[in-house]
Amino acid sequence: MTPQEPILSFRIFSLRRRGRVRGLPGHAGLRLFAYLLTALVLVPLVAVIVIAMGSSEGVWPHLVSTVLPRSVRITLLLMAGVAVLSSTMGVVSAWLVTHFAFPGRRILEVALVLPFAMPLYIVAFAYIEFLDFTGPLQSAIRAIGGYTSVREYWSPDVHNLPGAALIMSSVLYPYVYMTTRLLFLMQSVTALQVAQTLGCSRFSSFFRIAVPLARPAIAIGVTLCLMETLNDIGAVDFLGIRTLTFSVYDTWLNRGSLAGAAQIATVMVGFVVLLIVAERAARGRQRYQVARAERGGQFRMELNGWRAAGAAFLCAVPPLLGMGIPAFVLIGYALRRLPAFAEPELLAAAWHSVTVAAATGTITVIAGLVLAYCARLAAGRLEHVALKVALIGYAVPGTVLALGILMPLARLDNAVDAFMRSTFDLPTGLLITGSAAAIVYACSVRFLAVAQGTVEAGLAKITSHLDMAARTLGRTAQQTLIDVHLPLMKKALGAAFLLVFVDSLKELSATLLLRPFNYDTLATLVYSRASRAAYGDAAVPALLIVLVGLIPVIMLLRSAAPPLPQQRGELP
Amino acid sequence: MHVPFRRNRALRAFLLAGALGALSLPPAAAQEAGEVNIYSYRQPELIAPITEAFEKQTGIKVNTVFLSKGLEERIQAEGANSPADVIMTVDIGRLQRAEDVGITQQVEDEALQDAIPQQYRDPDGNWFGLTTRSRVVFASKDRVEQDEITYEELADPKWKGRICIRSGQHDYNIGLIASMIAHHGEEATEEWLRGLKNNLARRPDGNDRAQAKAIFSGECDLAIGNTYYVGVMATNEKEPEQKQWAEAIKVLFPNNADRGAHVNISGMAMAKNAPHPQNALKFMQFAASEEAQALYAEKNFEYPVKEGVPASDLVGSWGEINPDELPLSKIAEYRKTASELVDKVGFDEGPSS
């Protein structure tokens, strides 16, 4: 067992080539399976492009002259804000918990991951309630100052770009924190010790050594944050930020041009691809090699006094913003409705959420494993391209992706029905469309990127000598995967499963569009209640999403903790 | 290779749950007889009273799925095998769009025609209105003296910095702006919209309830909203403080003295490929009946379309409404222009100064 598996490093465009076994004969069946998977991921994306090729009914002149200049600027500013804030929160806190010892460090190390369980739209709504005139903050200001009208005093407002960037970052930074923390844990202490010998303080070694070395991990985390920012509609709608995604929905619903909307969405995806390529190009041909860390705790510098307090404070702020305040608001509402937690409707929705999330987790882990393993074996480029395709689904606005799933699926169902009718006189109706299977499909396409990155990183950790040894002993590619790799990758697979599980639990827009009759998930319950302004009632399912999501998030962190000394040294 | 891995069992349980979940996924659509399937843009809680009453009266089981964006596209994609029988939605724009994309069918039924006044249904029977709701002005009881107002007046500089409204791109505002275009033409409406924008107290955001709340907080003196939000606040027993918000405002029906207040409808349509057309018709007839109209309007604080069915007491307490007689088809027609104007004047950017 390698001492530290990079469980959470989404290996999206990492440059590591160490674990690749070029030229070993692959397994035809396995390869076929990989191609099939890639095709399944591509179907909805192609469908979106097909929709985009329809007539835009003359929406573009209007878009170009009035909408796009504004919304592109706002989107770029928002993304820049989120990139700066989420990487600052994620990297600083990861640095502090890995390199220093201070009171509360162990608790904060876990707490920093918790906002990952919070759906963005719920946090945005909770903030509005919290900072509102009737919320606790303004009520306190009024009580202290004796004011009666909001015009008499100042209070923070989040209905603006900085506010939106801060709120979104405080929920999204765990992506950066998780990837970077692991990298810091693995970073060679020796490098830092050398730096100190050369007169570099701990503080300046952060900027000069640790951060530059952690760049791939930071880039991956920030990219995921930005893709979430780009495809979000719930939070920006609540906060009144008119991003490109907002224009996608306007164009479709108010100006009646789905094709025009799909065209904007396609351009947005192109945007993301550019972003990824740009980051890669900037990194050039640098190679990042991670040396094994010595026992983690030993190099943590003890902090005392105000320094310790400062570190604890810096680590406490992000989870407080991303989790503490929103949870406070939700609990406030939920406490008035305790009997609602036992409603059969809610329990059924919770069961649906958990089953959809678990099914999605299982499917994406298997798919991610097959794709990553085929790429490991492949000599050609095709498999590696296939590996990257999976990413795109993550950047497409949820409802647009859902339409891309709905249309081909319904067509397939109708074709099957026509065939069965004409051949066997046996109408089958819609088999997949409007069933929970369609939801699982949508979530799988969306979150495959997350599972695959994690699985790929785990696989890359396994030395290729093991493959060769197994193959020399007569195992096929498939047997090697099952007998050798799977047991070594338990942790990475588990982590991938848990990440996708939490993400699927929060998923709203595809679920809302694709679900069958009388079928609610926790997320759709939240939406339907919030959309008729019954926020209090929405708080109960919202809190349940958070509670259900917390369990895997905590498991995730514990499984990604640095292993104990006796676990080490069993394999080279 | 033995790795002490305590979480292993829990993980295995998760994976098992996943497999079981995949197996227990429900079938595509319930299609047995004695059922009616509703695709609803209205929240389940709002239509539950009438679906439950219908089930009790007829023994026909009602299946519902609440959809938001993409309801029309879903039925379109499902095509001939779509399980949808009845579409329930709000806003004339959506009803008209359902008809335009060809997912409705014409229903010719005397009971429906008798129950629903002509101006609230499609002449060919593609859709039928169920309730009307008015886009009114909420005014602060303390800070606004006048008890009458017009939409046109909202652009008057005397309201500078005093008006709150939700996003101009929201269906409800698009409907209102479309009605202004129908009455005054595109140019005059653009000017009006600019005036209104400059009178705003803050950038448009939140929903109608948030605007009403902003009157309570003193942030604005006038707000534009749909009538029923006041009802929701005034009857909130779980958060009784919301009753105070409702008490801070008075409802002004704009243009009561001339053309009347802008109204929009919520309505229903029979899906083109309805698998249970008989049951669908029964449901639609029931929804237009006196009993269901009263129930529906009571729950939603809207006005029943059927004549002679009174609005709820609370809604009645806001005063008499004089609805604008402008044909709804006009509002549907000008929606796109309205949406473009909102972008053009940068309405959602809020007041410029």
CA distances from B204 to A254, A296, A522, B164 (A): 17, 51, 29, 7
pLDDT value at position B217? 87
In angstroms, how far is CA A205 from the centroid of its own chain?
30
Per-residue pLDDT averaged across B29-49, rounded?
Answer: 79
A199 pLDDT more than 90: no
Residue B239 gets which letter from DSSP? S
First vs last C-alpha separation in chain A: 8
pLDDT value at position B20? 52
Strands B249-252 and B86-90: unpaired
Compare B165 and A216 and report the one with higher pLDDT.
B165
Reported as type and span, the H/E element at residue A141 is helix A136-145
Q: Which residues of A touch B80 (CB under 8 A)?
A: 414
Sign of CA dihedral B11, A541, A241, A49: positive
When scoring A517, A570, A571 by the number of chain B Cβ atoms within 10 A, the one with the most, hence best to mutate, is A517
Q: pLDDT for B231-271, tens place per residue? A: 888 888 877 888 888 888 999 999 988 999 999 999 999 99
Interface check B4 vs A, CB under 8 A: yes
Contact across the interface for B344 and A66, Cβ inside 8 Å: yes
Token duo for residue B128: 């039928």
Nearest C-alpha of chain A: how many angstroms from B22? 6
**Per-residue pLDDT band at B353 (split at 50, 70, 90):** low
Contact across the interface for B217 and A150, Cβ inside 8 Å: yes
pLDDT value at position B104? 95
- For residue B127, give the nearest of B137, B145, B142, B113 by alpha carbon: B113
Q: pLDDT for B167-204, tens place per residue? A: 998 889 999 999 999 999 999 999 999 999 999 998 88
Q: pLDDT for A253-264, tens place per residue? A: 777 788 888 888
In the block, residue with structure tokens 């200049």: A69
pLDDT value at position A375? 78
pLDDT value at position A11? 39
Report yes or no: A488 and A379 within 8 Å, Cβ to Cβ: no
> Minimum mean pLDDT among A57-61, A324-328, A480-484: which range?
A57-61
**Per-residue pLDDT band at A549 (split at 50, 70, 90):** confident
Contact across the interface for A151 and B219, Cβ inside 8 Å: yes
Dihedral, CA atoms, A183, A186, A189, A191, nearest 10 degrees? -60
Provide the whole-model pTM: 0.82
pLDDT value at position A265? 85
Strands A100-101 and A301-302: parallel
Q: What is the DSSP annotation of A261-318?
A: HHHHHHHHHHHHHHHHHHHHHHHTT----PPPP--GGGGPEE--HHHHHHHHHHHHHH
Reported as type and span, the H/E element at residue B133 is strand B128-140
Cα–Cα distance measured from residue B103 to residue A112, given in angstroms and rounded to the nearest whole number: 49
Q: Which residues of B touch A254 (CB under 8 A)?
A: 169, 171, 174, 335-336, 338-339
- For residue B325, give the nearest of B183, B189, B187 by alpha carbon: B183
Q: Which residues of A touch B30 (CB under 8 A)?
A: 517
When scoring B2, B73, B165 by the number of chain A Cβ atoms within 10 A, the one with the most, hence best to mutate, is B73
Token duo for residue B106: 């014409």
Contacts of A546 (CB under 8 A, 6+ apart): A117, A118, A122, A327, A330
A194 pLDDT more than 80: no
Domains of chain B: 35-132+263-317 (3.40.190.10), 134-262+321-349 (3.40.190.10)
Q: Which residues of B touch A494 (CB under 8 A)?
A: 7-8, 11
Cα–Cα distance measured from residue A60 to residue A63, given in angstroms and rounded to the nearest whole number: 5
Per-residue pLDDT averaged across A300-328, rounded?
Answer: 91
In the block, residue with structure tokens 């009580």: A143
N residues, chain A: 572
Token duo for residue A521: 């998930």
Nearest C-alpha of chain A: how many angstroms from B176? 13
For residue A463, the SS3 value is coil
pLDDT value at position B304? 92
What is the Cα Rg of chain B in Å? 23
Tell me the count of A-B CB pairs closer than 8 A: 243
Strands B86-90 and B263-271: antiparallel
Contact across the interface for B343 and A133, Cβ inside 8 Å: no
A10 pLDDT more than 50: no
Q: Which residues of A touch B77 (CB under 8 A)?
A: 406-407, 410-411, 433
Cα–Cα distance measured from residue A368 to residue A377, given in angstroms and rounded to the nearest whole number: 14
Average pLDDT of chain A? Answer: 80
- For residue B215, give the nearest of B244, B194, B193 by alpha carbon: B244
Q: Which residues of A touch B44 (CB under 8 A)?
A: 528
Q: Report B:330-349 residues touching A (Cβ under 8 A).
A: 335-336, 338-340, 343-344, 346, 348-349
Per-residue pLDDT averaged across A403-412, rounded?
Answer: 89
Token duo for residue B124: 């060919």
Helices then strands, each counted (H, E), chain A: 28, 2
B99 pLDDT more than 70: yes
- For residue A325, give the nearest of A117, A500, A115 by alpha carbon: A115
Cα–Cα distance measured from residue B217 to residue A133, given in angstroms and rounded to the nearest whole number: 6
When scoring A237, A239, A242 by the number of chain B Cβ atoms within 10 A, the one with the most, hence best to mutate, is A242
**Per-residue pLDDT band at A211 (split at 50, 70, 90):** confident
Residue A340 gets which letter from DSSP? G
In angstroms, how far is CA A271 from the centroid of its own chain?
18
A309 pLDDT more than 50: yes
Contact across the interface for B73 and A149, Cβ inside 8 Å: no
B87 pLDDT more than 70: yes
Q: Which of B18, B69, B213 sits opposite A399 (nearest CB)?
A: B69
Using left for φ > 0, alpha for ψ between -120 and 50, and beta otherwise, residue A208 falls in alpha
Report yes or no: A560 and A8 within 8 Å, Cβ to Cβ: yes
Q: Please, how many CA atoms are within 13 Å of residue A29, restricted to the half-sphere of its CB?
A: 4
CB count within 10 Å of CB A201 equals 10
Contact across the interface for B45 and A432, Cβ inside 8 Å: no
In the block, residue with structure tokens 């074996």: A377
Q: What percent of chain B has pLDDT over 90?
A: 54
* Among chain B residues, CA nearest to A534: B232
Q: What is the DSSP annotation of B252-295?
A: E-TTTTTT-B-EEEEEEEEETT-S-HHHHHHHHHHHTSHHHHHH
pLDDT value at position A217? 79
Per-residue pLDDT averaged across B13-25, rounded?
Answer: 51
Contact across the interface for B14 and A254, Cβ inside 8 Å: no
Contact across the interface for B27 and A567, Cβ inside 8 Å: no
Interface check B46 vs A, CB under 8 A: yes
Helix axes A344-377, A522-530, angle to 10 degrees: 120
Cα–Cα distance measured from residue B9 to residue B264, given in angstroms and rounded to the nearest whole number: 57
Compare A222 and A190 and report the one with higher pLDDT.
A222
CATH of domain A1-14+27-44+343-518: 1.10.3720.10
Cα–Cα distance measured from residue A368 to residue A481, given in angstroms and rounded to the nearest whole number: 13
Class of domain A60-117+160-335: mainly alpha
> Minimum mean pLDDT among A139-153, A410-424, A515-529, B99-113: which range?
A139-153
* Among chain A residues, CA nearest to B235: A534
pLDDT value at position A504? 92
- For residue B223, give the nearest of B172, B182, B259 by alpha carbon: B172
Q: Which of B8, B18, B74 sits opposite A361 (nearest CB)?
A: B18
Report yes or no: B202 and B165 within 8 Å, Cβ to Cβ: no
Listed in sequence order, the DSSP H helices in A481-534 are 486-488, 490-506, 509-514, 522-530
Helix axes B290-300, B44-58, angle to 10 degrees: 160
**Per-residue pLDDT band at B25 (split at 50, 70, 90):** very low
Interface check B18 vs A, CB under 8 A: yes
Q: Which of B7, B21, B213 sits opposite A359 (nearest CB)?
A: B21
Q: Which of B14, B29, B70 sits opposite A403 (nearest CB)?
A: B70
Contact across the interface for A436 and B26, Cβ inside 8 Å: yes
Compare B12 and A61 and report the one with higher pLDDT.
A61
Q: C-alpha angle A471/A476/A481, rounded to 5°?
A: 90
**Per-residue pLDDT band at B8 (split at 50, 70, 90):** low
Domain ranges of chain A: 1-14+27-44+343-518, 60-117+160-335
What is the Cα Rg of chain A in Å? 25
Cα–Cα distance measured from residue A159 to residue B196, given in angstroms and rounded to the nearest whole number: 20
Whether A1-14+27-44+343-518 and A60-117+160-335 share one fold: the answer is yes
Contacts of B34 (CB under 8 A, 6+ apart): B59, B60, B61, B279
Q: Report B:107-136 residues touching A (Cβ under 8 A).
A: none
- For residue B339, give the nearest of B206, B176, B157 by alpha carbon: B176
Q: Which of A160, A399, A528 sits opposite B43 (nearest CB)?
A: A528
Token duo for residue B292: 């269901």
Cα–Cα distance measured from residue A365 to residue A499, given in angstroms and rounded to the nearest whole number: 10
Cα–Cα distance measured from residue A174 to residue A117, given in angstroms and rounded to the nearest whole number: 10
